[in-house]
């Protein structure tokens, strides 16, 4: 699965909306494109392909470094948790892991970020961990998961995502390695009070109201 194939796959399941006027949840920015990842998670056969490709890239990264492949994968519920299942499955099947890998999840807590349930805290303590994230926007969510694993005494080694929309770098989310199937940056605009700064605002294109914030702020 190369970048173009991954984009085509997202488009084919209705997860990539183009030529619109979307208000993103992060930093009040606007853009023409929107990734609705829930549309992807309707199709396990597609998620499986993404999980497999990520597992291969993660394995290659650790093999190149001559380091042991972590056998714990953590993603944020719901999307990241689904992806974590397939990545963990394929670490052994396609990535050459010698044992089965575990897929754990973190849950959102109000505005505080994420939490691991107590039984999971015991599992990650002292262990190397792979963090998966479906779509990386500004990287706050990935950084939050990494931080949550660290607080539990785990060692996040890599972040793996389907799409790194914001050209976020590994160190910004607190790890040494970041792999993504799609690196293509999505243009985001910051509209001023009069709409200047966003070409769609200037052109008077109405905001999409069924995806993103859509003016509901």
Does position 16 interact with Zn ion (CB under 5 A)? The reply is no
Kindly state the smallest distance separating residue 188's Cβ from Zn ion, in Å: 10
Residue 138 or 175: which CB sits closer to Zn ion? 138
Kindly state the smallest distance separating residue 208's Cβ from Zn ion, in Å: 10
**Structure token pair of residue 130:** 């792979």
Q: Residue 30 burial (CB < 10 Å; 0-12/13-18/19+)? A: buried
Q: What's the longest Cα–Cα distance across the chain?
A: 58
Edge-to-edge strand ranges of the sheet holding 177-182: 113-115, 102-109, 72-76, 128-136, 155-164, 177-182
Residue 70 or 191: which CB sits closer to Zn ion? 191
Residue 179 or 198: which CB sits closer to Zn ion? 198
Q: Cis peptide leading into 78, omega within 30 of 0?
A: yes
Say how many residues touch Zn ion, by CB under 5 A.
5
Does position 149 interact with Zn ion (CB under 5 A)? The reply is no
CA distance linking residue 14 with residue 33, whole number of Å: 12
Residues within window 179-208 making contact with Zn ion, judged by CB under 5 A: 191, 198, 200-201
Q: Which of 30, 57, 90, 177 binds Zn ion (CB under 5 A)?
A: 30
Residue 30 or 165: which CB sits closer to Zn ion? 30
Residues in contact with Zn ion by CB under 5 A are 30, 191, 198, 200-201
């Amino acid at each position: 699965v190369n970048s173009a194939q991954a984009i085509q796959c997202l488009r084919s399941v209705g997860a990539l909306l183009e030529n619109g006027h979307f208000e993103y949840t992060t930093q009040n920015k606007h853009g023409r494109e929107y990734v609705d990842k829930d549309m992807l998670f309707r199709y396990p056969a597609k998620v499986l392909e993404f999980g497999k490709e990520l597992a291969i890239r993660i394995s290659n990264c650790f093999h190149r470094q001559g380091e042991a492949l972590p056998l714990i994968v953590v993603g944020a519920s719901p999307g990241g948790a689904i992806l974590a299942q397939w990545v963990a499955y394929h670490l052994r099947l396609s990535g050459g892991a010698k044992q089965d890998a575990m897929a754990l999840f973190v849950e959102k807590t109000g505005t505080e970020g994420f939490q691991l349930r107590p039984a999971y805290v015991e599992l990650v303590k002292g262990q190397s961990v792979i963090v998966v994230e479906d779509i990386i926007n500004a990287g706050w969510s990935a950084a939050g998961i990494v931080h949550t694993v660290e607080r539990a005494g785990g060692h996040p080694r890599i972040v793996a995502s389907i799409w790194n929309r914001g050209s976020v770098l590994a160190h910004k989310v607190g790890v040494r390695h970041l792999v993504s199937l799609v690196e293509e940056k999505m243009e985001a605009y910051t509209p001023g009070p009069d709409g200047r700064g966003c070409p769609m605002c200037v052109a008077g294109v109405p905001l999409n109201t069924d995806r993103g914030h859509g003016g509901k702020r």
